[in-house]
Amino acid sequence: MPARAVFIVLALLSMLHVYIGMRLVPAIDPGPLGVALAVALLAASTLLMPAGLLSVRFKRWRWADQLAWAGMLTMGFFSSLLVLTLVRDLGLLAFEMAGGAGQAIVRGTAMAVPLLALGVTLIGLVNARRVARVVDVDVPIAGLPAALHGYSIVQISDVHVGPTIKRGYLNAIVTRVNALKPDAIAITGDLVDGSVRRLRMHTEPLARLSARDGTFFVTGNHEYYSGADEWIAEMRRLGLTVLMNQHVVCERGDAALMIAGVTDFTAHHFDETHRSNPRAAAAGAPDHVTVRILLAHQPRSAPAAADAGFHLQLSGHTHGGQFFPWNLFVPLQQPFTAGLNRMSELWVYTSRGTGYWGPPKRFGAPSEITRVRLVAA
């Protein structure tokens, strides 16, 4: 991150922390020692968040991972603290318009804000760090051949192996996926946050993934931040089939299903030869293919997928918002936030993600391992 950007971030964080301090600390009136402690904690928070994000720069430092954890936990707490402070101010404004709030309400709400923020952060931490639950989704396909009824694809997405997600976390996911005994496994991008050299040891459990028709991988935007070409080669080394505007055909008796994959929607910003193209991914499919499935990291690939004649698109990217209030902003960029949705003749399933990005925090948007089953419409 350039020095100018760091300065801007620190300035913005400082202003927001000053706002929180001015709105809460005088109302609580904790005395001189309490004020000094509050100022010290707010100052530490201001510095820890950018330090946590930049901890990857200190990868040779013994405490780099601990710094990342401290910064990310602080970020999660600060996010809730800021939102709750704003909500409190709106509530007090409503009281003022109705005749004024008493001192007990002013002080009580000021004390409640950090306590609630801490509670939400701790619950979010537990939700983020436990192994993702299995979500079963039946997708009705018109004219589905009997041989393909019940065909299952287990999807994982947005694991974000990196500063706070390591080998053990991914290993537990792989074990749960394999226990489902799927016909195919789909990894729909944003698997990593960091270079192959730094994370190779932590992505090794992917080699254990096992499904009858194989494990398929498509790139997400974070692969391009982390060296996409190197990660594509590493996924292939681990035995995964990387689909870059390509498809494979899976046979069941006299029925055939196509699993296609596209590069990330924004891949061309990093490498023009990686431009996402659902129509190219479907090109050359044999005539006897009756079901077309597309793996695409971002839901906004859906219009092109529908035009290309796909029946189902599996996506991620959104994390379902991960925690409030970020779920409110997802629709500004993506057509779908989470779950099964319809666009013309195309079904789109958007995973809430199997890991998390940034703060180890999930609140109102649980992580998931998705088992998609095809059923006759």
Over residues 256-284, the pLDDT tens digits come to 999 999 999 999 999 999 999 999 999 99
**Beta carbons of 262 and 223 less than 8 angstroms apart:** no
CA torsion through residues 339, 344, 347, 348, sign: negative
Over residues 185-214, the pLDDT tens digits come to 999 999 999 999 999 999 999 999 999 999
Is the pLDDT reported for residue 54 higher than 90?
no
CA distances from 25 to 17, 85, 94, 129, 175 (A): 11, 11, 21, 32, 48
Q: Is 227 left (phi over 0), alpha (psi -120 to 50) or beta?
A: left
The partner residues of 343 in beta bridges, in order of sequence, read 346
The burial of 20, by beta-carbon neighbours within 10 Å (0-12 exposed, 13-18 middle, 19 or more buried), is given as: buried
The set of residues, in sequence order, having a beta carbon less than 8 Å from that of 350 and lying 6+ positions away, is: 299, 315, 316, 317, 318, 320, 334, 336, 337, 338, 339, 341
Q: pLDDT band for 96, please (50, 70, 90 cuts).
A: confident
Domains of the chain: 3-129 (no CATH), 133-376 (3.60.21.10)
**Measured distance CA(250)–CA(152) in Å, rounded:** 12
Give me the chain's average pLDDT, please: 94
Question: Which pLDDT value is given to residue 21?
Answer: 96
pTM as predicted:
0.92
Is the pLDDT reported for residue 221 higher than 70?
yes
Over residues 304-319, the pLDDT tens digits come to 999 999 999 999 999 9
**Beta carbons of 201 and 167 less than 8 angstroms apart:** yes
Over residues 101-147, the pLDDT tens digits come to 788 899 999 999 999 999 999 999 999 999 999 999 999 999 999 99
